[in-house]
Structure 1
Amino acid sequence: MTTSTAGSKPDLLSAEAGRRRTFAVISHPDAGKSTLTEALVLHAKAITEAGAIHGKAGRRSTVSDWMEMEKARGISITSTALQFPYTTQAGNSCVINLLDTPGHADFSEDTYRVLTAVDSAVMLIDAAKGLEPQTLKLFQVCRHRRIPIITVINKWDRPGRHALELMDEIAERIGLKPTPLTWPVGIAGDFKGVLDRRTGMFIRYTRTAGGATAAPEEHIAPDAAHEAAGIDWDTAVEESELLSADDADFDPETFRDCSSTPVLFTSAALNFGVNQLLDVLAELAPPPNGALDVDGNRRDATAPFSAFVFKVQAGMDSAHRDRIAYARVCSGTFERGDVLTHASTGKPFVTKYAQSVFGQQRSTLDTAWPGDVIGLANAAALRPGDTLYADVAVQYPPIPSFSPEHFAVARGTDPSKHKQFRKGIEQLDQEGVVQVLRSDRRGDQAPVLAAVGPMQFEVASHRMAAEFSAPIALEPLPYTVARLCDPEGAETLQKLASVEVFTRTDGALLAVFSTKWRLENVARENPTVSLRSLVAAGD
């Protein structure tokens, strides 16, 4: 078995790990997440022109939203990995691993998986809407996983709420102390630039045509800022002083301790404030620090190689029916061709087809370091939650499945496509697009698809038709609640009305109920039956 090179190059390994910044962008739908992702890549010079300005005829789609449904709907449906180098304005270089996530609540499972693979998160807030329900749910996941959060107030070029009001809302609703690093010069809808609260400088922005290219910045000394921005500058200074009086200056220790959040103001659509965010990520976001195994012990980033599979995706290239397993490097050095061990099976896994992923684009990857995301092609044996390692065994915690709330029987509409139907359903199940449930009562030709939200069914139907040429018809089932049960309890539950028991692909028995009141009645009338809760979306 190939040996990891981690032990032979500890200094290089530590240095490369220290350069990595691996983070996710989280938000409520339509807060501008994919637009911000595109702007970050643009300012890092990884692309030359942004394509996220909706309503502009002939514009490209974003690099992170590549699925046909994403292009048509203008929303993110699946998470995407983007890696690119960045040099700060101070001349420090780093490697950005950016994981764009779906904002829609129906795809909470995908976002949750991504949050197992990052060291920090950028929480994007719409300047007009403030904290929205999905943002709050995702924040709770970050809090549970102790992920430091950088907050970005977006769309400051449009009418919105007062900046101080938004700071109060963050403090009151999520319990984080907001510590703004930049402060807007000009009210929402009249964005002239920002006051850099660490240097006192006025950073003035200039619009570009359609926001397609990086916005020029002009750094103006404090004593000349009034002449440049007038009363808007004076107001920004006064409000910044109020923040300092309220102990709202940035504190690295409370940020790392997840009790405060640095705040920046941007207009991602105009590329205003994006450079400042990149610099803050490079300077303040934590580098990889290993990962906790199933026993709660930390495997240090300089230990022999290990990685955690957080996502499996097929259909990225219509010319090839391969699939990519996304694995976050937790420790050690990866070199293409290494023979690793698949922890759950103990079998060897060959990494000949390792790739670097940039949205839908892929290129051969020879070496990767802690914090990097590896794309492993044709990885049929890998599932989300799997662990790979070299030399010293390790097992990372599995990713829990969310509690489904929507159920539908799937049937192939073309009997001649039987094999394609089975293969497609199996593929969607393995990727975690939907959960697949089966029972003797319904038979193998009528699997039940279970989802957190109904949009997952749309994705499943679209992919079955487009990728497997096996269109399906979905028959909704009248269930809304699921619980885990044991074989003894399943026998009792199967005899009851408005209750059905299915076997999930991983072997778990799921009892589904028409309503939560039906569940309560069944539990009360059958106290010996064990009914255990699953992880709820957003927990």
Structure 2
Amino acid sequence: MKNIRNFCIIAHIDHGKSTLADRLLQSTNTISEREMMDQVLDDMDLEREKGITIKSHAIQINYKHNDGQEYILNLIDTPGHVDFSYEVSRALAACEGALLLVDATQGIQAQTISNLYLAIENDLEIIPVINKIDMDGAMIEEVMDQIIELIGCKPEDILLASGRTGIGVDGILQAIVERIPAPKGNAEAPLQALIFDSVFNSFRGIIVYFRVLNGAIRKGDIVKFVSTDMDYEAAEVGILKLKMTEKKEVSAGDVGYLITGIKNAKEVKVGDTITLKNNPTQEMIKGFQEVKPMVFAGIFPVNTDEFEELRDCMDKLQLNDASLTYELETSQALGFGFRCGFLGMLHMEIIQERLEREFNQTVITTVPNVSFIAYTTKGEKIIVNNPTEFPDPVKTDRIEEPFIKAQIITKPEYIGNIMTLCLGKRGILLNQSYLTTTRVELHFEMPLTEIVFDFYDKLKSQTRGYASFDYHPIGYRESDIVKMDILLNSDKVDALSALIHRGRSQDFGRKLCEKLKELLPRQQFQIAIQAAVGAKVLARENISAMRKDVTAKCYGGDISRKRKLLEKQKEGKKRMRQIGNVEVPQEAFLAVLKLDD
């Protein structure tokens, strides 16, 4: 065990984690030149296209140190985007150390700080690395000062590297061996292993990734999952190289995979403890946090008869992404579907993309919203995740909405733009401090509702990309929230309802009606689009009727023939308006997400 090191790479998005991981694998000959490609650990198409890591990836490296000994390094490459911080927290639970990567051209960003705090909470050994030192705009001295101020280390502790050219990679490998402690644990004790991830394979069933804290797991053992209290035979155990490599046993301190042929997704819980049936451990592994979804939206199949298929796909996707939560929901407009909880808007977009690509499911996503707490006049507490659950305003005493503390790091020249943006989103400025002469940190308290839609995109455009953003929830506060309904020809479309602050409702309703007017196809009768709060209509747009030329066949002849046909058409239009259903295209549901100011 003294020759095992478990570590992960943490950083802000786009600071070069995956590129550095590529160089570590290449310089230790873990993968051959033929298998080598950029972002080698990012095996999802979406990750390559967007250039971001979505899933944490584990791989084992064999490294020969200067002292002549062979070391086993288990590397976990983590995502950098704020929406995937849950993946990072899971990777940290399986490690003893972390490489904290900072881009030499950008310096410390918001996500760097929040990932660092996550690592410190887990008592990890931090190795600071300044990456991209070969770039023209590298500010090595300044970034060094920032790191020293942030974590209080000595200048000689900071490693300089370039993931692209491979400079400094040997130094990093030596530092991992010398600075990160070997895992503690007893190979003779009863088996105690933490499940930190799982994936679904259509041939082998569910593959569980685990980290062994004590004991050992061998092929053929009867293992028990503590929280579900179910027993399975370990059909195959092994370690994670670029592909899974089978072994006779995986013992304390190591990271590996387990195949038991489980087919039901509900039987595997990330964060669960694995032990042996005949010699169980007495305690579960502590400290694994439950996921807290921030954004809720409905996902519905386009054809209602594909609901069961969508349910299977959601089960399989949840295995691969433990931060997705969902429950059944029905909508009058869309039929059966799921109410899903996501960690943020990017997370929601990725889930939708994955459903379409990996499972071939076309889905309709409803307006995303956050979860509110309503207190009735009788003192009951109702959690509202969905506009249809919103209680009757007459019986409601007060409504509370979730607030967050936002941390924004930017350049001083953009302070005015950020202030305007955040105060316009009902934000309260807490403090502002200069980290250096060219970097300022702002703290705001803001309602989560205001951030859900397009805050991140607006922040980037207002600051030309020079702002980094991170947030954490701070609880619920009382607020004036109303339910806004969209009516098409006086019929409510429940999938377009939204919960919104009263002050913003008129503006939002007007924009939404205008957008729907562009998107809804014209019919042979007039369509009225209205936004209403209760009985009060806030905005209205009309889509005029499409006129079919019924008199085309009457060329020449008496005018009374034409008039007769037009009268007949008018009668038909009346009847059509009474029973006319409006077709709502899928783009209309997405339009709500993209309302520009």
Indicate the TM-score class for this superposition, using the shorter chain for normalisation. 0.5 to 0.7
Aligned length: 395
Match of 1:141 in 2: 118
**Larger relative contact order, structure 1 or 2 (CA cutoff 8 Å, min sep 6):** 1
Measure the CA separation in 2 of the matches of 1:267 and 1:125: 11
- Superposition deviation, residue 445 in structure 1: 2.3
Q: Does 1:350 align with 2:239?
A: no
Measure the CA separation in 1 of the matches of 2:385 and 2:77: 45
Normalized per residue, the structure richer in strand is 2
**Aligned with 1:426: secondary structure?**
helix
CA 276–426 in structure 1, closer or farther in 2 if over 3 Å, else same: same
**Aligned with 2:32: secondary structure?**
coil
Match of 2:316 in 1: 427
- Superposition deviation, residue 320 in structure 1: 4.0
CA 493–367 in structure 1, closer or farther in 2 if over 3 Å, else same: closer
Output one character per residue of 1:260-300: Cα deviation in whole Å (capped at 9) or x when no partner.
xx32100111011101111111122111114xxxxxxxxx5
Retained in 1: the 8 A contact 2:104–2:131?
yes
Match of 1:372 in 2: 254
Q: Does 1:49 align with 2:26?
A: no
Q: Does 1:33 align with 2:29?
A: no
Match of 1:451 in 2: 342
Retained in 2: the 8 A contact 1:386–1:398?
no
Q: Does 1:466 align with 2:357?
A: yes
- Superposition deviation, residue 68 in structure 1: 0.9
- Superposition deviation, residue 83 in structure 1: 0.7
Measure the CA separation in 2 of the matches of 1:108 and 1:495: 22
Q: Does 1:331 align with 2:220?
A: no
Match of 1:265 in 2: 160
Output one character per residue of 1:355-392: Cα deviation in whole Å (capped at 9) or x when no partner.
32234x22323221222222123444221110011323
Match of 2:66 in 1: 89
Measure the CA separation in 2 of the matches of 1:91 and 1:141: 34
1:234-383 equivalences in 2 (<5 Å): 262-290=157-185, 300=186, 302-314=188-200, 320=203, 322-359=205-242, 361-377=243-259, 378-379=261-262, 380=265, 381-383=267-269
Measure the CA separation in 1 of the matches of 2:196 and 2:204: 20
CA 489–365 in structure 1, closer or farther in 2 if over 3 Å, else same: farther
Retained in 2: the 8 A contact 1:481–1:516?
no
- Superposition deviation, residue 499 in structure 1: 7.0
Match of 1:520 in 2: 477
**Aligned with 1:270: secondary structure?**
coil
- Superposition deviation, residue 156 in structure 1: 0.5
Q: Does 1:157 align with 2:52?
A: no
Match of 1:414 in 2: 303
Unmatched 5+ stretches in structure 2: 392-399, 404-446, 451-475, 482-597
**Aligned with 1:447: secondary structure?**
strand
Pairing partner for 2:370 from 470, 480, 483: 480
**Aligned with 2:158: secondary structure?**
strand
Give the counterpart letter for 2:299 in structure 1: A
**Aligned with 2:244: secondary structure?**
strand
Measure the CA separation in 2 of the matches of 1:387 and 1:61: 35
Match of 2:270 in 1: 384
Pairing partner for 2:147 from 155, 170, 177: 170
TM, length-normalised to structure 2: 0.60
Measure the CA separation in 2 of the matches of 1:273 and 1:76: 23
Give the counterpart letter for 2:224 in structure 1: T
CA 446–168 in structure 1, closer or farther in 2 if over 3 Å, else same: same
**Aligned with 1:399: secondary structure?**
coil
- Superposition deviation, residue 101 in structure 1: 0.7
Measure the CA separation in 1 of the matches of 2:48 and 2:374: 37
**Aligned with 1:23: secondary structure?**
strand
Q: Does 1:78 align with 2:55?
A: yes
CA 348–323 in structure 1, closer or farther in 2 if over 3 Å, else same: closer
Measure the CA separation in 1 of the matches of 2:118 and 2:374: 22
Pairing partner for 1:436 from 318, 326, 329: 326
- Superposition deviation, residue 97 in structure 1: 0.5
Output one character per residue of 1:381-405: Cα deviation in whole Å (capped at 9) or x when no partner.
2211100113233201263234333
Retained in 1: the 8 A contact 2:61–2:74?
yes
Retained in 2: the 8 A contact 1:85–1:95?
yes
Retained in 2: the 8 A contact 1:325–1:376?
yes
CA 150–50 in structure 1, closer or farther in 2 if over 3 Å, else same: farther
Give the counterpart letter for 1:368 in structure 2: V
Retained in 1: the 8 A contact 2:401–2:479?
no
Give the counterpart letter for 1:421 in structure 2: L
- Superposition deviation, residue 422 in structure 1: 0.7
Retained in 1: the 8 A contact 2:56–2:76?
yes
Measure the CA separation in 2 of the matches of 1:464 and 1:321: 21
Retained in 2: the 8 A contact 1:24–1:121?
yes
Give the counterpart letter for 2:18 in structure 1: S
Calculate percent identity across the aligned residue pairs: 26
Measure the CA separation in 1 of the matches of 2:386 and 2:59: 50
**Aligned with 2:107: secondary structure?**
coil
Output one character per residue of 1:377-436: Cα deviation in whole Å (capped at 9) or x when no partner.
344422111001132332012632343332211001233433220111223334414221
**Aligned with 1:91: secondary structure?**
coil
Greater C-alpha radius of gyration:
2
Give the counterpart letter for 2:10 in structure 1: I
Pairing partner for 1:120 from 97, 119, 135: 97
- Superposition deviation, residue 109 in structure 1: 1.0
CA 371–34 in structure 1, closer or farther in 2 if over 3 Å, else same: same
Give the counterpart letter for 1:453 in structure 2: G
1:485-500 equivalences in 2 (<5 Å): 492=382
Output one character per residue of 1:155-179: Cα deviation in whole Å (capped at 9) or x when no partner.
010134543322321232x3x2223
- Superposition deviation, residue 484 in structure 1: 12
Retained in 1: the 8 A contact 2:6–2:73?
yes
**Aligned with 2:136: secondary structure?**
coil
Retained in 1: the 8 A contact 2:300–2:335?
no
Measure the CA separation in 1 of the matches of 2:335 and 2:233: 33
Measure the CA separation in 1 of the matches of 2:305 and 2:33: 45
CA 500–127 in structure 1, closer or farther in 2 if over 3 Å, else same: farther
CA 50–90 in structure 1, closer or farther in 2 if over 3 Å, else same: farther
Give the counterpart letter for 1:385 in structure 2: G
- Superposition deviation, residue 118 in structure 1: 0.6
